[in-house]
Structure 1
């Protein structure tokens, strides 16, 4: 599967996604945007993960996908599609976003599981006993990374001192409150996102991505807030107050 959008006939895709966004009662937009880009990204990668885990339920007549999302009443939300009998290249025709009650009314009681992103829950918690090794050369010299750094920092002669100070402060914060570290799923791995406040010590500018390797964390790269939220939202809605859309 390349894209969920191409997996079935949707009709007005944006309208369907807007309906799902309202069904979850969650904010799926960055700042003042209205395109539900976070939700579209979430569905794209969640469906790919479900396909990898062989959790997309298909029969001769219908297809059901567990979105991993919930209504405000904690009811799981499923994508329900029926067999497409037209000449379209897609096998399925989107019918509805449904709860288990809705599907039960159709006589469907066997339902697929959610995507599973981790086997070891300890991966989700920052280990304060592990030091962090940061790949500074990649962060400073890689063009994509440099473009993510605030201009007043990337052009500063003291960029390294600023980063080192922000990392030291972040380590103290996460040591005092382990919930500051937010897990993300990327390229089949669980990593942690850590806030870096470079311009204003109370406002995160970037998220440092770290992966635990034995007894240390390897700091690979930095992400913008939008990139970090998109990756983190695949696992769960971040509860930390520094990573919000």
Structure 2
């Protein structure tokens, strides 16, 4: 019998204890920040020790090597600050956070190796794992070795079963928007706090912005009844198991393309609440945590990610009364 917590176990806060012969996945506390969890060493050409930022270069190297191993995907998107592969950066950090929440960090029986499932595949559909070795120096508990495939000898040698993927929903209803539910908008937050995200011609005209918002919602809901894929799931880390949300396209200018994404959360069993809007670059970064968006309106883009492994720009919780 597997001791891996299922999504239902996690949702019910059921604690699944490891078996007597097992060490991993472990219940001891792992750092939920990936770069606090493991030390990433610089593996590039020799540089001047006094001038190089080896931590940054090591992380850039890790991102690049993973992108090269995985099946082709656009990981750069909108990137005004020049960060390398910002969508992949966000994806890795928050996938790791989710794996820690679900207790899916696999550890070898001798406690010397750890592995995580990146959720990505190679071009030949092999799963890709992060492989780590116990770090004997002060600081992070683990030392990053490499990104490896499921057929790699060290995965087969050290782990009885491969690490499990992160899961973000506990039922199919969290993946498909139910157009039969009533949708209520938090106008004060959308128009009062986030009006600067609206098209430039509406920023100084709140009434026009509200009219455009209402018209766009009505139009989108008609389309959603005919194509549920228009509304895309996302996950907000700080809300834990309540973090499953939806992103709905908003065509505010009437030109046939999305200008913003409305964040929608379920309230009970009968209603949804639209509580904030995101720019499209924010929305794609958030949605990519759950799955690669399969929709024409949301193309690969990326919002700046703080360097502290906290929620990325654009992640917003529903207000306390939601």
Q: For residue 179 of structure 2, what is the aligned residue in structure 1?
A: 128
Q: For residue 3 of structure 1, what is the aligned residue in structure 2?
A: 33
* From 176, 179, 184, the counterpart of 2:234: 184
Structure 1, 106-115 or 63-72: larger mean CA deviation: 106-115
1:167 aligns with 2:217: yes
- Structure 2 counterparts to residues 1-245 of structure 1, below 5 A: 1-11=31-41, 12-24=58-70, 25-31=72-78, 35-59=84-108, 60-85=111-136, 87-103=137-153, 107-108=157-158, 109-142=160-193, 145-156=194-205, 157-186=207-236, 187-188=239-240, 189-213=243-267, 214-245=269-300
How much has 1:82 moved relative to structure 2? 1.1
Tell me the secondary structure at the aligned position of residue 115 of structure 1.
Answer: coil
Q: 1:153, 1:199 within 8 Å by CA — same for their partners in 2? A: no
Bigger helix share = 1
Tell me the secondary structure at the aligned position of residue 292 of structure 2.
Answer: coil
How much has 1:58 moved relative to structure 2? 2.0
Whole-angstrom distance in 2 between the partners of 1:37 and 1:23: 17
How much has 1:106 moved relative to structure 2? 5.7
List, as ranges, runs of 4+ consecutive aligned residues in structure 1 with deviation greater than 2 Å. 31-34, 103-106
Q: 1:79, 1:94 within 8 Å by CA — same for their partners in 2? A: yes
Q: 2:78, 2:281 within 8 Å by CA — same for their partners in 1? A: no
Question: Normalised by the size of structure 1, how large is the TM-score?
Answer: 0.92
Whole-angstrom distance in 1 between the partners of 2:215 and 2:263: 17
What residue ranges of structure 2 are gaps of 5+ in the alignment?
A: 1-30, 42-57, 301-322
Bigger strand share = 1
What residue ranges of structure 1 are gaps of 5+ in the alignment?
A: none
Structure 1, 48-57 or 147-156: larger mean CA deviation: 147-156
How much has 1:101 moved relative to structure 2? 0.5
Structure 1, 116-125 or 146-155: larger mean CA deviation: 146-155
Q: 2:183, 2:271 within 8 Å by CA — same for their partners in 1? A: yes
